[in-house]
Structure 1
């Protein structure tokens, strides 16, 4: 999914991605319990720079994620997936990856300036940036809510998730589902376990060069 967001768009065969991950020792069954390995795999498969973000998705890191998405750049996020694909908190037992590719910012009406773009013709309360050079208002005092446009691989559609819910789900990834951990199958897990490999981490993909 991230490769499809690359500019120019890149067609990547899923079997090639899996075989690359297997040959590099990143996975044994298709699992990916290391954000660092995911970054390395993304760089090779998507042919772009991957930036590993650590320390959670709040504060300065939240601003970095929002700014990255504002620039129309995708973010790979590990989180606990609920049955409707939305973020939940199961201690890592339902850990999956999602691709975030857009951001919706809830701003006080008085804080919206013309530099943020023009109102949508059908939804006048919605301002759409004209291009990636529009300043990102992530530091605005009028910022009230942040939602990311994200999709998990098994979902048929994109969903809007609050960044807070994503951050909370991402932060509490600690252990593999005991049933899975004891099923006799070999999995590739980071030294230190699921928590060391995934908790508080995300991968920012730089799919455009400067000026695009």
Structure 2
């Protein structure tokens, strides 16, 4: 069962993965024209959140989102598990994007490098493995038997969401700024990657560039955190 919203693509230049992810999320929150990436970079630099486009603070990203996109930004702490798991899944089922920092592997998927490959992705959908379709408000995909989508324009009752101990698969439909393509990431995989962002990359520390890193470093700014974005007039 797939709940998703479509995102545009923009291949990043330089260390702007977080701002590109925010720009993509903004297309789901703002008018069709959206907010230009250049505007996000400009405001982030003016506020002191970044030196060249990098974003090492989820809290700063939330403040930037509220100022530039006019949306609500809810900062999650303590990882993507436990009670936060239900919040993330319900948020995605409602059609709203989530910004998640993680370590990026060579194939762009989440990995565990202690924050040395810290990157940002925007998730705009969720694929749930459930035992049965809960109502007639879902339609089967014409090309993929067994895959059901919510019927557009019809309020549907979400299925019971698979928990950490409950049966069923959970995948996040995600995109990040180094690829044109969506990827499906196992929820536990992105949860684990997000929870071990603890160190600033040694290669970045010695590359001669200036980066804005919050007090407490990468661990204080990114580890175990995510950002739920929703339109200003929407309900939780």
Q: Which residue of 2 aligns with 1:49?
A: 72
1 CA distance for matches of 2:59 and 2:234? 24
Any stretches of 5+ residues in structure 1 without a counterpart?
A: none
User: Which of 127, 132, 136 lines up with 2:148 in the alignment?
Assistant: 127
2 CA distance for matches of 1:149 and 1:192? 31
- After TM superposition, the score normalised by the length of structure 1 is 0.91
- The answer to whether the aligner puts 1:154 opposite 2:178 as a matched pair is yes
Alpha-carbon deviations, 1:8-34, whole Å to 9, x = none? 434221111111000000001211000
Instruction: State the SS of the aligned residue for 2:129.
Output: strand
1 CA distance for matches of 2:146 and 2:42? 46
Deviates more, 1:112-121 or 1:185-194: 112-121
Q: Which residue of 1 aligns with 2:230?
A: 206
Decide whether aligned partners of structure 1 residues 93 and 132 sit closer, same or farther in structure 2, where only a CA change above 3 A counts: farther
Equivalent pair of 1:98/1:150 in contact (CA under 8 Å): yes
Which structure shows the higher helix fraction?
1
Any stretches of 5+ residues in structure 2 without a counterpart?
A: 1-23
Equivalent pair of 1:150/1:159 in contact (CA under 8 Å): yes
Q: CA RMSD in A?
A: 2.0
| 1:2-81 equivalence runs, <5 A | 2-6=25-29, 8-81=31-104
Equivalent pair of 2:140/2:149 in contact (CA under 8 Å): yes
Decide whether aligned partners of structure 1 residues 167 and 210 sit closer, same or farther in structure 2, where only a CA change above 3 A counts: same
2 CA distance for matches of 1:88 and 1:160? 14
- After TM superposition, the score normalised by the length of structure 2 is 0.82
